[in-house]
Structure 1
């Protein structure tokens, strides 16, 4: 599905702020390293995606108790949940002038219980007219997300029969319901207990 931007002002999807701090030296340095050998916007976007997916472990997989939310901290600690990793990927994309934003899914356990909001990214490559969603959560057995502009290869395709859904809005900055939980959780256990069940 193609998300719907919350604003028609494309500059909102290139901006730096306290969360997507692509003006931070850590983000700039990582972007410069990735740009080496990735001369086109497509190649750079794929390299940035692969870096965040594979080089920044999902803390629920790795067992890392640190909770980070700022893009530069995600890249420096190489740690974060899906939301934090999305912030890092958006920052890396914006650092190279590629419009990018945040989008979300509502997912559940296999029995339909314990819903949780899952974070994704959408990007708009120069010369294209379609926002393409990407999921840099990190692969593991049963999860095989890939970078693709043509066919979505997300970590978790939604299952409507279990009440799962794709949220249509493409956000320029993370919603307060997500960011407040990340900022206010002392460790991974507290974060897991406080993750939002829905955006609306």
Structure 2
């Protein structure tokens, strides 16, 4: 899928903010540990960061752990989050090592969060879905084509949003910060962008 960045300023896709707090010591420490196993290869680092978030931070619904995380450092500290929170952590880890990354979304039964990455030398952003695998879900880090957790079904009103955001969408941040439990969280995310 071709993504349209919200800004042509690539530095926006490397920036830290309150949610993508890639200057936080835990984010920096985790990034450094992952980078040490990548032998200086940016693609290998991006894959390691992706697989770390996908495989070691469970999706809240899969483990029925409803501590609602939002900030990247909190996701890494509490080791749990929904797709949006996991996306925040992955983008922070990528940006901590100078890899441009941003946020993109799908409208499924609720709003689903993904990221996109652009490796040095590439002109294209490639979406990645670190939601976490389970039976029926097999998302993989791929640079040649997308292998996301969920296909969209337009006949059911689902869609891929073609916009690449430099910051998490305010609707998502508000939902994660206001929800007091899963029912309220899904209600807040039952929206279109």
Does the alignment reach a TM-score above 0.5? yes
Q: CA deviation at 1:38?
A: 0.5
Q: CA deviation at 1:193?
A: 2.9
Q: Deviations over 1:5-60 (max 9, x none)?
A: 00000000000000000000010010011011102000000000000000000001
4+ residue segments displaced more than 6 Å? none
Q: CA deviation at 1:157?
A: 1.4
Report the Cα distance in structure 2 between the residues aligned to 1:24 and 1:144, rounded to whole angstroms: 31
Listed as ranges, the gaps of 5+ residues in structure 1 are: 108-114
C-alpha contact 1:59 1:188 (8 A) present in aligned 2: no
Tell me what 1:110 maps to.
none
C-alpha contact 1:64 1:188 (8 A) present in aligned 2: no
Q: CA deviation at 1:197?
A: 2.1
Tell me what 1:85 maps to.
86
Q: CA deviation at 1:149?
A: 0.6
Report the Cα distance in structure 2 between the residues aligned to 1:101 and 1:194, rounded to whole angstroms: 22
Give the TM-score taking structure 2 as reference length.
0.97
C-alpha contact 2:110 2:186 (8 A) present in aligned 1: no
C-alpha contact 1:26 1:75 (8 A) present in aligned 2: yes
Residue 13 of structure 1 pairs with residue 13 of structure 2: yes
Tell me what 1:190 maps to.
184
C-alpha contact 1:70 1:88 (8 A) present in aligned 2: yes
Query: Considering only aligned residues, what root-mean-square deviation do their CA atoms show, in Å?
Result: 0.9
Q: Deviations over 1:83-140 (max 9, x none)?
A: 0000000000000000000000011xxxxxxx31100000010111100000000000
Q: How many pairs are equivalent? A: 192
C-alpha contact 1:38 1:44 (8 A) present in aligned 2: yes
